[in-house]
Protein backbone atom coordinates (compact mmCIF):
# COMPACT_ATOMS: atom_id res chain seq x y z
CA UNK A 1 0.00 0.00 0.00
CA UNK A 2 1.43 3.39 -0.92
CA UNK A 3 1.15 6.43 1.41
CA UNK A 4 -1.85 7.88 -0.45
CA UNK A 5 -3.78 4.61 -0.20
CA UNK A 6 -2.88 4.35 3.49
CA UNK A 7 -4.08 7.90 4.15
CA UNK A 8 -7.32 7.21 2.25
CA UNK A 9 -7.94 4.02 4.23
CA UNK A 10 -7.23 5.79 7.52
CA UNK A 11 -9.64 8.59 6.61
CA UNK A 12 -12.41 6.11 5.72
CA UNK A 13 -11.89 4.14 8.96
CA UNK A 14 -11.84 7.33 11.03
CA UNK A 15 -15.07 8.53 9.42
CA UNK A 16 -16.73 5.15 9.91
CA UNK A 17 -15.64 4.97 13.53
CA UNK A 18 -17.04 8.45 14.17
CA UNK A 19 -20.36 7.44 12.61
CA UNK A 20 -20.25 4.13 14.46
CA UNK A 21 -19.77 5.89 17.78
CA UNK A 22 -22.85 8.02 17.12
CA UNK A 23 -24.88 4.92 16.21
CA UNK A 24 -23.62 3.06 19.28
CA UNK A 25 -24.55 5.98 21.55
CA UNK A 26 -28.08 6.11 20.12
CA UNK A 27 -28.56 2.37 20.48
CA UNK A 28 -27.07 2.27 23.96
CA UNK A 29 -29.67 4.83 24.97
CA UNK A 30 -32.34 2.18 24.78
CA UNK A 31 -32.88 0.83 21.30
CA UNK A 32 -30.78 -2.30 21.70
CA UNK A 33 -27.07 -2.92 22.04
CA UNK A 34 -27.02 -5.81 19.54
CA UNK A 35 -28.51 -3.71 16.73
CA UNK A 36 -26.03 -0.92 17.43
CA UNK A 37 -23.06 -3.30 17.54
CA UNK A 38 -24.10 -4.90 14.24
CA UNK A 39 -24.35 -1.49 12.58
CA UNK A 40 -20.93 -0.50 13.95
CA UNK A 41 -19.36 -3.68 12.58
CA UNK A 42 -20.95 -3.14 9.15
CA UNK A 43 -19.78 0.48 9.03
CA UNK A 44 -16.19 -0.44 9.87
CA UNK A 45 -16.22 -3.31 7.36
CA UNK A 46 -17.51 -0.95 4.68
CA UNK A 47 -14.81 1.59 5.53
CA UNK A 48 -11.93 -0.86 5.27
CA UNK A 49 -13.17 -2.48 2.07
CA UNK A 50 -11.43 -0.71 -0.80
CA UNK A 51 -13.76 0.79 -3.39
CA UNK A 52 -14.21 -1.04 -6.68
CA UNK A 53 -11.86 0.36 -9.31
CA UNK A 54 -13.65 2.32 -11.98
CA UNK A 55 -13.72 0.67 -15.40
CA UNK A 56 -11.56 2.87 -17.67
CA UNK A 57 -13.17 1.67 -20.91
CA UNK A 58 -15.45 4.10 -22.75
CA UNK A 59 -19.17 3.60 -22.11
CA UNK A 60 -21.96 4.18 -24.62
CA UNK A 61 -24.19 7.04 -23.52
CA UNK A 62 -27.28 5.38 -25.03
CA UNK A 63 -27.13 1.72 -24.00
CA UNK A 64 -24.39 1.90 -21.28
CA UNK A 65 -22.36 -0.88 -22.95
CA UNK A 66 -18.59 -0.71 -22.46
CA UNK A 67 -16.25 -0.67 -25.45
CA UNK A 68 -14.47 -3.95 -26.06
CA UNK A 69 -11.51 -4.92 -28.20
CA UNK A 70 -11.02 -8.22 -29.99
CA UNK A 71 -14.56 -9.29 -29.10
CA UNK A 72 -16.30 -11.37 -31.75
CA UNK A 73 -19.72 -10.19 -30.54
CA UNK A 74 -18.79 -6.52 -31.18
CA UNK A 75 -16.12 -6.47 -33.93
CA UNK A 76 -16.64 -2.80 -34.82
CA UNK A 77 -15.65 -1.67 -31.31
CA UNK A 78 -12.04 -1.89 -32.48
CA UNK A 79 -12.65 0.85 -35.06
CA UNK A 80 -13.31 4.54 -34.50
CA UNK A 81 -16.28 6.21 -36.17
CA UNK A 82 -15.52 8.05 -39.38
CA UNK A 83 -18.15 9.98 -41.39
CA UNK A 84 -16.88 8.24 -44.53
CA UNK A 85 -18.34 5.03 -43.13
CA UNK A 86 -21.79 6.58 -43.46
CA UNK A 87 -21.21 7.87 -47.00
CA UNK A 88 -19.80 4.56 -48.28
CA UNK A 89 -22.25 2.29 -46.43
CA UNK A 90 -19.53 0.64 -44.34
CA UNK A 91 -20.23 -0.63 -40.81
CA UNK A 92 -19.94 2.21 -38.31
CA UNK A 93 -17.21 2.34 -35.66
CA UNK A 94 -17.23 3.60 -32.05
CA UNK A 95 -17.92 7.34 -31.71
CA UNK A 96 -15.87 9.21 -29.10
CA UNK A 97 -16.35 12.94 -28.78
CA UNK A 98 -16.61 15.84 -26.36
CA UNK A 99 -20.36 15.21 -26.30
CA UNK A 100 -19.99 11.58 -25.22
CA UNK A 101 -19.52 8.02 -26.42
CA UNK A 102 -21.76 6.01 -28.75
CA UNK A 103 -21.31 2.33 -29.60
CA UNK A 104 -21.52 1.19 -33.24
CA UNK A 105 -24.94 -0.42 -32.75
CA UNK A 106 -26.51 2.72 -31.27
CA UNK A 107 -24.78 4.93 -33.83
CA UNK A 108 -26.21 2.75 -36.62
CA UNK A 109 -29.72 3.04 -35.13
CA UNK A 110 -29.40 6.83 -34.87
CA UNK A 111 -28.06 7.38 -38.37
CA UNK A 112 -29.64 4.63 -40.43
CA UNK A 113 -32.79 4.12 -38.41
The per-residue pLDDT for 1 is 64
The rounded distance, in Å, linking the Cα atoms of 1 and 82 is 43
The rounded distance, in Å, linking the Cα atoms of 95 and 103 is 6
The per-residue pLDDT for 33 is 60
The rounded distance, in Å, linking the Cα atoms of 15 and 20 is 8
The rounded distance, in Å, linking the Cα atoms of 34 and 15 is 21
Q: What is the pTM of this model?
A: 0.54
* Distances in whole angstroms, Cα of residue 44 to Cα of each of 22, 29, 66, 75, 113: 13, 21, 32, 44, 51
Tens digit of pLDDT at every position of the chain (113 positions): 677 877 777 787 777 777 777 776 766 666 556 666 777 777 777 777 777 888 899 999 999 999 998 888 998 998 999 999 999 999 999 999 999 999 999 999 998 87
Amino acid sequence: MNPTETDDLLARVTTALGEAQTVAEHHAAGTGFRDGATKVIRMVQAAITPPEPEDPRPQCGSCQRRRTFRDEAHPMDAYDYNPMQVLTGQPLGWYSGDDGQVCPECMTKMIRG
